[in-house]
Structure 1
Amino acid sequence: MPSSAWTPSCGTRRPGRYAVRTFTRADAATPALLCHLGRAFVTRVTLQAGASTRIRCRSYTTVSMDARCARTRPWLFDQTVSSFLESAGRVDILLFPFTSTPWLKVWSLAPSWPLLSRPVSGAYNYAFADAVSGPVGDALNALTGPATPALGQLMWTTTTPGLAATMTGDIWGRPGRCHAVCAPDHYQGDRGGERRALPTQ
């Protein structure tokens, strides 16, 4: 990753200046470069990517947010977010307004088809989540006040039956098909998730 970075002065004869330097993944100064806060300019980046590997996405909707965010307990059957991140590498949490149980999606590498997973050949597999779009979504976005808790509860109560009806609680396929969750015309609401890159092979 060639970058123009600040080189400190070396005595009075060599004042500090910007100079192009190539940083590698193993370079001890690379972590500092990644949080340089404007004191360097990245001029070119060479990306390193592994071979495309099929992934598995499992959905969980029965554990409360408090339990998901609890301290990890390795001696028990752990259902915390941190344990899923440690074992799988990537998670996404969707907590609907005024509800206490999130929709947790967990992605993991699965080169071979897991027997209990449904293979998918296309993107946007959560059809029940795309049912609200266009004018209906605009109308829901305009609602405020007393209707908000009811709408949050409605979205949560339709998630588990929707996963069952579409058989998408456990899917398997190519990354581009499993990661593309919402269709382009999907209702756009405020959304937050905790994500981490999949581990390399």
Structure 2
Amino acid sequence: MRDLDETDLEILSLLAEDARRPFSEIGDRVGLSGPAVSDRVTRLEETGVIKRFTVDVDRTKLRAGVPVLVDVELPVGAESTDGSNTLDAARERVRDADAVEHQFVTAEGDLRVYARVEGRNVREWVVGLFEGVGVEDYTVTLVDEFEWTPSIEGVEFALTCAECSNTVDSEGETARIDGEVYHFCCPSCLSQFRERYQRLEEGA
């Protein structure tokens, strides 16, 4: 597997700014033809660096609710009413909430949520969201402006071995098995993975 070079990183940066940017335009910026850029993007998709292309919707244009930051304090090691870990239960609730756009877990094990709450009392929404989870406390901050700027430069992309979870470097192996692309740190891990995969298929 080949390491990402400066051209790959520049292509990623340009796509992060605008995923619909034409390959011909990207080629003009990086000194390649449009088809050559397309080949590189395809390789980045196959190796898992690019997972999907998406749309960044400006919800302020849609009048999609009040933007808020919610800082949630969770008791360490406690359990929710259903017996699950409190943090896991809170994250599951947040993941299923339509109003939530981003969630972050702090080093202290607390939860921060960015959401757009539509036409209702924000505190009532928060109470309903975490009902039964066992939240210690929370604070709600109204957001005046929000901007997310993706950064590619200076980032090292580290793929992990599908067999042993070690980092895959330029000496690693990449294989397509049943239509899925897997990465391995060495030929031995690839061989072990293939054998285990085959045994699982035969036992199915």
Taking structure 1 as the reference length, the TM-score comes to 0.25
Which structure shows the bigger proportion of residues in helix conformation? 2
> Whose relative contact order is higher, 1 or 2, with alpha carbons under 8 Å and at least 6 apart?
1
Taking structure 2 as the reference length, the TM-score comes to 0.25
